[in-house]
Amino acid sequence: MLESMPDIENVILITIDCLRADHLEIYGYPRETSPNITRIAREGVFFRNVVANGPFTLASFPSIMTSSYPLQGDVYYSLNGRPPLLSELLKQEGFSTAAFNPNILLTVRCDYTKGFDHYEGYLPRISREFSAAIEVRSTHITKKLKDTAISLSKKYPAFELLLYLFSRAWRQFPTEVASKVTSDAIDWIKRNRGRPFFLWIHYMDAHEPYFLERLDMERYYSKWANIFHKMKARYLHSKIILREKGPSEKDADFLRRYLIDTYDDRIRYIDKNIGRLIKTLESEGLSSRTAVIITSDHGQAFLEHGNLFHKASFYEENLRVPLIMWGGEINESHINPATPASLMDIPPTVMSLLNLRPHRDFMGKDLTKNVDREFIIAEASYDEHGLPFYRVPESSKINFSFVVYLGNYKYIKHIPMKGHPSYELYDLRTDPEERNSINKNGDLMEKFDIILTNHMNEISLNIEREIIKFNVKLMKVRHKVK
């Protein structure tokens, strides 16, 4: 029987874009990427078995902030048809609320500003590259220039290297960095420490691109990479993106090493700033009554299954994320760290930590209680490029995928807009790298399909209807384009 939870007055939710669990020491990583996170994980609680409910940002944040499934309410990830945001509920309870979030998708593409007294989206700092990513469609001129650049890069490999050198001359990391975000959050804490608060901090520094490093960022792991190595990595990366013939095994190993070194360096940089935040809470006398929750929206792939980064990929490198809780007297006597958890569990757990009743429509579990859970589901809809934007004419399809975790088994079902569904089934105990699908087990596959059918009924998801609606939308938009 777990002991009763201590009184908590404030909550700080830290979400780190693209942070996979297995690159933190506390989850067994051999490198020292995160000494501050390691410390607070050992003092508090870190859950050993955590799954993101979606493989990319837009699919995951409905779960993090509204405790709903990614495809619940709206398959395009808007907040329509979902429970209120955690920030809205806490503001109604009298909490001061603030967010420091440099991810433009969560500010412009979907409105996560609701319920915050203060919301800093850093929009003036966002680069044109990220802004263009959320446009409905590119202009004809922009598309022509992009096609020309791709064509030249294919024909003349040196052209890509020249572009890289030119870009490095003036471009910075395209979103606000952790040092600024942390400083702004600390200033807000000091101004608002007199009343209960909910603070959301989002870090983008572990997100690609990995070829525009800030010069003042710590170079802890990738000191071996000089400018020529960086150009080579950029060139190999471009070959993969352009879907040319895949790199040799030697080149793939080189690219993977470069990307992982840079990625680990970014994690260490974020960790340093989390350390600053924790020291502030301790020096301001807030650590005894403030819960800090650290998690990620999804992981990041480095060619483990031939994929880079985090499009619609449903393997462990994209779905396994950390979940750490610290503050007050939170420890393993209050929370069971072996409980299988998902990002949907964050809102009801936060409400419970604050001695508030979770919203009746939350789909997640309160992790401060003894959780009885049979399975966990992740899901997403996406276009033929593995993206959730559905830009016309670039996008002409909507596809769906579902993942069910049940015991040691992981079931993946892909439902394309056209064609027949495909399946994968892995025993993660004997095949943790997901190399050999065992989808010939008919009885087990049938059990998973029953779970998915019941799940889709529970969230009122009708895939055939959504495909028809998408086709209608596609025809209307294409007509306007003409």
Q: In this predicted model, what pLDDT tens digit does every residue of 426-439 receive, in sequence order?
A: 999 999 999 999 87
Instruction: Flag whether pLDDT at 60 surpasses 90.
Output: yes
Please tell me which residue, 369 or 392, carries the higher pLDDT value: 369
Please tell me what DSSP assigns to residue 83.
P
Beta strands in 4-161 (DSSP E): 10-16, 45-46, 50-51, 96-100, 118-120
Phi-psi region of 115 (alpha: psi -120 to 50; beta: other; left: phi over 0): left
Report yes or no on 60 lying in a domain: yes
Structure pTM? 0.89
Run of H or E including 376: strand 376-382
Strands 50-51 and 290-295: unpaired
pLDDT band at 377 (very low <50, low <70, confident <90, very high): very high
Report yes or no on 4 lying in a domain: no
Say what the pLDDT of residue 162 is: 57
Q: Provide the 3-class DSSP secondary structure of residue 124.
A: helix
Per the CB < 8 A criterion, the answer to whether 101 and 120 are in contact is yes
| Alpha carbon distance 434, 319 (integer Å) | 13
Report yes or no on 5 lying in a domain: no
| Alpha carbon distance 300, 18 (integer Å) | 5
Q: What is the DSSP string of 303-366?
A: STTS-EESSS--SHHHHB--EEEESTT-STTTS-TTS-EEGGGHHHHHHHHTT-PPPTT--S--
Q: Which two tokens stand for residue 412?
A: 């993946």
Say what the pLDDT of residue 154 is: 53
Residue with tokens 């480095």: 302
| Domain harbouring 462, CATH code | 3.40.720.10
* C-alpha 332, offset from chain centre: 26
Report yes or no on 298 lying in a domain: yes
> Which domain covers residue 176, as residue numbers?
10-481
Report yes or no on 1 lying in a domain: no
pLDDT band at 138 (very low <50, low <70, confident <90, very high): very low
Say what the pLDDT of residue 1 is: 34
| Alpha carbon distance 37, 276 (integer Å) | 11
pLDDT band at 216 (very low <50, low <70, confident <90, very high): low
Instruction: Flag whether pLDDT at 457 surpasses 60.
Output: yes
pLDDT (tens digit per residue) in 169-215: 445 667 888 999 999 999 999 999 999 999 999 999 999 888 766 66
Report yes or no on 301 lying in a domain: yes
Number of domains into which the chain is organized? 1
Nearest to 477 by CA among 390, 398, 399: 390
Report yes or no on 3 lying in a domain: no
pLDDT (tens digit per residue) in 293-327: 999 999 999 989 878 888 899 999 999 999 999 98
Query: Nearest 5°: phi and psi at 338?
Result: -85, -5
Report yes or no on 386 lying in a domain: yes
